[in-house]
Amino acid sequence: QALPNRSGPSAILVSPRQKGNPILNNVRSLPWEYSDIPADFVLGATTCCLFLSLKYHRLHPEYIYNRIRNLGHLYNLRVLLTMVDITNHEEPLKELSKTSMVNNLTLILCWSAQEAGRYLELYKSYEHASPTSIKAHQSTSYRDKLVEFVTTPRSINTTDATSLISAFGSIRAAVNARPEEIGMIPGWGEKKVQRWCQTVDEPFRVRK
Amino acid sequence: MMRNLFLRKPSLWPRFHVTVAKSLEGRKKAEVIELEVPMTDGMRDIQNAVLECVEVSIGELRKADTGLELDDWTLDSALHRSFDVIIRRQLDPIWHRVSFRTRQIVNDLTVLRSILQALLTYDAVSFNKYLDTILAAHQPPPGSTRQNQSPWLFLDAANTVFETAKRRVYSGKPTEGEVPASANAFPDSLRPILEEQPKWSLLAEVLEEIEQDNYLNPVPRDDSNSTILIMCSDQGTCRQLREYLQNMHVHPAEDLQEEDDEERKPSAMFMMRRKLRNYLGWKKDFARVSASLFAENQKVLDGFTDQRGNTNGYRGKGPPNKRRRIRGGASSAGAGRPINGSLQMAEDKESQVASLMADIQPTDADAMQKDEVAVDSLDDMEDYFELYDMNDLLVIHPYDGDMDEHVLEEVRPRYVIMYEPDAAFIRRVEVYRSSHEDRNVRVYFMYYGGSVEEQRYLSAVRKEKDAFTKLIKEKGNMALTITLDGAAPTDPQEQFLRTVNTRIAGGGRLAATAEPPRVVVDVREFRSSLPSLLHGRSMVVIPCMLTVGDYVLTPTICIERKSVRDLISSFKNGRLFNQAETMLQYYKHPMLLIEFDRDKSFTLDPFADNSFEKSIKSAEDSRDLQSKIVLLTIAFPRLKIIWSSSPYQTAEIFAELKNKQDEPDPVKAVQVGLGMGEDPYEQQSFNTTPQDMLRAVPGLTGKNMMRLILEVGDLREVSNLGEAELDEMVGREAGRQVYRFFNRSVFDE
């Protein structure tokens, strides 16, 4: 999944126009350097980032559009990192949503300089990471699987899962158990029993 | 509210109003007998200890400083019924921001509260069993370095809880390490105690009294059919009482010498002994279960596959050498664990050994009794719904809200025994009594003195009174609203709609199309408020079964809506990744809508509980939301993200996005993502919960799971499938995994 080694600088490239931006102070764990680039930050071979503070946007609404125009169609992933530092953010955000669609930008909101710095670091450090951690996560051990299985219906917790399995021995037996039998397990009140049995009996498809 | 009901003048009839009081009293003064049952020492100890745990947990929460009003979170409110729910509700707006630890403490509070409840309702043996389960479930997985054990488990008080609970069942437990050897030599140092719930004997007394009363001075026949109605809080208690009443005159006759002299006294001895036997058997299994579940790598207990076949109860008749083997296995399991965090566990193992010792004593002793009665009574337990014919005079029923009235009407009891206090039911009895002048009702009312139960009841009564007082005051200084007539309120709304309509239509849309704007919405989305808001903005909402996306705004824009909670969970189970993948496949502008709730905070930044934690977090924690979003956008550069602070805002954004765009084609939207030959109208909607459960089953992935869902009716059927059938449907390897998942017995490992 990770793109084959394209050479890219190991540091975050920062446009000189961002000099003095407080978020630079929050980029601590990765090196960064000034460079002459059309975007504000370059976070990887195909990733760039424009930074916009809503406060500034309110004063100079045309600024971001100029920047986007100058950016042209460069880069594959174009992040518009927006700092929400005003309270009535609805209107500008609506506008930016539209803009991001038209201009192929990915809108990311942050609420503090710290968070913004963290986003920059994350983008850089995950440049070559594969998205395994957000793919269907496979817990390996039988116990985890089991607990996950049993606790899927609402209001059933890990304790209940343990007691259920220890009472019936296997999931198959637990699934086939009658409500009265399940009700005898300590901790399983009527609501839980009902919910469990209902889920187990519920057909996968709703018949119309 | 009054305006919506079109009420002019509310009138309140509190029960302390003179007329009401008089009519409720009726002509006959009713007999209410309050019985305060003292708790046993053990129970009181446990209760105090649990309350201490609650207090400490609350203290922890306060320390965590999540910016909440914590002033009213005191021990007093801990007695309140929905205490943990209140906290949860308070935390809800910022739930995605509070730290793991805070969340855990809130969970702990729920557990503690259920312990309190269980203490009063369960019998000693089940209570101990419940505690064991809780303890096991809270064990950290072996080898984990994370300090994620619940804080209250480390308290002395928690220890007291577990110790006392155990002592209520049996005593003479070998105290420390060197004792097991001697305990082995003198196995009868373990003695079952089997403390009974104090209410039981009281109940028996009351019943006897009623019987005598009936016999000595028979009341002239009246309308009520001399039934005794026992009300208790839930089915579980019902069953417990029923079992008790059935068995209270059965005695383990010849075996226990101390029992002989008080032969006539009703006792729960028999029932408790049976329970203990079951418990010990269970405990033995449970040791094995927890060994196989919680320390999977240690397959030490593998020689035990026999003996469990016999049907009723997991009666352990293992010969001594086998017991010794278990013990060795158990202690080695204890030793293999990291010592620091699991002091509790090691001790528990030790005591499990002890309980195994105790095991053989009662089993052999009343083996005969058991064989006589066990089959019978087990049958009773199975279909206890048919038990009514056993004794016409006695009905045990749980509180069931409004249904109680019908129960009273149907049963027409002469005697009502309230096994647990319930303020609402008392009111119902009052009404029942006064509406049937000719019926005699005598109410017995039981509660544990000085217990949470009593507190809870008193506070319920107080709250009732307060509520009325407040209503009366409110009524006194309420401004009278006079609406002109019924038509008025609807009018402005229509007007509003009309203005919206013209505004959108006038804004350049006329050039594009004359149709009203249209949005295709997945039917499952109708649970959220967004579709109706879209409708409110005079868009035409077309409900469809969408396979891809939740909303289709234009032929190219498809939107997947996620609330913050959904977002977290669907990152966790990887669903979002798949959804994004399919959206990208079919639409030019796939979008992820992250929707915050209106009254929840509009930020993802987690609270820094303290500076220490913060520094750790930024260093190592790669699992938080932000990094996942980053990963997602890196994986799918074309996926756009919309951030919306509320559904209203979302509707606005949708309108903006749709501006000057073509309208979506619902037929095409439905067909997108369906395979060839799949008829969209054949496709029916699915129930999500069973599907989510299937997703947790190993070996099942998107494709073969779909197959399984289409072929098989429900989860139960899946679990009963043979390996060969599964083979056919999901493939060899997956089939094997699924089969093993369902059929693996935790006892065997």
- pLDDT tens sequence across B536-595: 877 888 888 777 788 888 888 888 888 877 787 777 777 788 788 888 888 888 888 888
Contact partners, residue B43, CB within 8 Å, separation at least 6: B119, B120, B168, B448, B451
Rank B98-102, B435-439, B510-514, B742-746 by mean pLDDT and report only the highest: B742-746
Rank B58-72, B198-212, B650-664, B681-695 by mean pLDDT and report only the highest: B650-664
pLDDT at B700 over 80: no
What pLDDT sits at residue B194? 61
Higher pLDDT, A204 or B553: B553
Residue type, B312: N
What pLDDT sits at residue B291? 55
Q: Angle B41-64/B100-121 helices, nearest 10 degrees?
A: 160
Give rounded-to-5 percent helix, strand, coil for chain B.
Answer: 55, 10, 35
Distance from CA of B679 to the nearest CA of A (A): 15
Q: Angle A142-150/B269-294 helices, nearest 10 degrees?
A: 130
Put simply, whether A137 touches B (Cβ < 8 Å) is yes
CA distance A122 to A29: 10
- pLDDT single digits (tens) B313-322: 333 333 333 3
pLDDT at B363 over 50: no
Backbone angles phi, psi at B661, to 5 degrees: -115, 165
Distance from CA of B697 to the nearest CA of A (A): 7
CA distance B459 to B453: 10
User: Could B575 and A136 be called an inter-chain contact, meaning their C-beta atoms sit closer than 8 Å?
Assistant: yes
Distance from CA of B176 to the nearest CA of A (A): 27
CA distance A186 to A160: 9
What pLDDT sits at residue B395? 59
B156-162 average pLDDT score: 73
Put simply, whether A108 touches B (Cβ < 8 Å) is yes
Cα dihedral B508, B510, B511, B517, rounded to 10, equals: 90
Distance from CA of B239 to the nearest CA of A (A): 9
CA distance B453 to B81: 10
What pLDDT sits at residue B697? 75
User: Could B637 and A76 be called an inter-chain contact, meaning their C-beta atoms sit closer than 8 Å?
Assistant: yes
A105-134 average pLDDT score: 81
If we measure between CA atoms, which residue out of A151, A163, A193 comes closest to residue B136? A163
pLDDT at B199 over 80: no
pLDDT at A60 over 60: yes
pLDDT at B356 over 70: no
pLDDT at B146 over 50: no
Put simply, whether A103 touches B (Cβ < 8 Å) is no
* Element spanning B447, H or E: strand B442-449
Structure confidence at residue B481 as a pLDDT band (50, 70, 90): low
Structure confidence at residue B732 as a pLDDT band (50, 70, 90): confident
- pLDDT single digits (tens) B430-456: 777 666 666 666 777 777 766 667 777
Higher pLDDT, A62 or B381: A62
**Residue B633: strand, helix, or coil:** helix
Name which of A162, A190, A193, A208 to mutate to probe chain B: the one with the most chain B Cβ atoms within 10 A of its Cβ. Answer: A162
User: Could A118 and B626 be called an inter-chain contact, meaning their C-beta atoms sit closer than 8 Å?
Assistant: yes
Q: Contact, A47 vs A26, CB < 8 A? A: no
Put simply, whether A89 touches B (Cβ < 8 Å) is yes
Query: What DSSP designation does B664 have?
Result: P
Name which of A41, A93, A97, A196 to mutate to probe chain B: the one with the most chain B Cβ atoms within 10 A of its Cβ. Answer: A97
Higher pLDDT, B141 or B696: B696
Structure confidence at residue A26 as a pLDDT band (50, 70, 90): confident
Put simply, whether A186 touches B (Cβ < 8 Å) is yes
Higher pLDDT, B209 or A44: A44
Structure confidence at residue B733 as a pLDDT band (50, 70, 90): confident
Residue B665 burial (10 A CB sphere; 0-12, 13-18, 19+): middle
CA distance B744 to B749: 9
User: Could A186 and B628 be called an inter-chain contact, meaning their C-beta atoms sit closer than 8 Å?
Assistant: no
CA distance B285 to A165: 11
pLDDT at A91 over 80: yes
Distance from CA of B224 to the nearest CA of A (A): 31
Of A175, A190, A200, the CB nearest to B235: A190
Higher pLDDT, B190 or A198: A198
B653-680 average pLDDT score: 69
Of B114, B381, B714, the CB nearest to A203: B714
Q: Among B95-99, B388-392, B401-405, B641-645, name the one with the lowest average pLDDT.
A: B388-392
pLDDT at A182 over 70: yes
Of A98, A129, A166, the CB nearest to B286: A166
What pLDDT sits at residue B73? 56
Average pLDDT, chain A: 80
Of A93, A152, A166, the CB nearest to B696: A152
C-alpha distances in Å from residue B233, one per residue of B43, B237, B272, B350, B420:
19, 7, 21, 36, 6
Interface of A with B in 7-26 (CB under 8 A): none
Structure confidence at residue B372 as a pLDDT band (50, 70, 90): very low
pTM for the predicted model, two decimal places:
0.56
**Residue A145: strand, helix, or coil:** helix
What pLDDT sits at residue A149? 79
Q: Closest-CA residue in chain B for A120? A: B630
Q: Closest-CA residue in chain B for A97? A: B642
User: Could A186 and B642 be called an inter-chain contact, meaning their C-beta atoms sit closer than 8 Å?
Assistant: no
Structure confidence at residue B245 as a pLDDT band (50, 70, 90): low
Beta strand B191-192 with B31-38: parallel, antiparallel or unpaired? unpaired
Higher pLDDT, B139 or B576: B576
- ipTM computed for the complex: 0.75
Q: Closest-CA residue in chain A for B719? A: A172
What pLDDT sits at residue B730? 76
CATH-assigned architecture of domain B497-502+514-674: 3-Layer(aba) Sandwich (3.40)
* Element spanning A79, H or E: strand A77-83
HSE value, Cβ hemisphere, 13 Å, CA-based, for B516: 15
If we measure between CA atoms, which residue out of B139, B506, B399 comes closest to residue B289? B139
Higher pLDDT, B263 or A61: A61
User: Could B745 and A181 be called an inter-chain contact, meaning their C-beta atoms sit closer than 8 Å?
Assistant: no
Which positions in chain A touch B710 (Cβ < 8 Å)? 204-205
Name which of A166, A184, A195, A196 to mutate to probe chain B: the one with the most chain B Cβ atoms within 10 A of its Cβ. Answer: A166
Q: Bridge partners of B444?
A: B33, B417
What pLDDT sits at residue A125? 83
User: Could B234 and A190 be called an inter-chain contact, meaning their C-beta atoms sit closer than 8 Å?
Assistant: yes
What pLDDT sits at residue B126? 74
Q: Where are the domains of chain B?
A: 37-192, 497-502+514-674
Average pLDDT, chain B: 62
Higher pLDDT, B717 or A108: A108
Higher pLDDT, B547 or B154: B547
What percent of chain B is predicted at pLDDT more than 70? Answer: 41
Sign of CA dihedral B371, B376, B381, B382: positive
What pLDDT sits at residue B193? 58
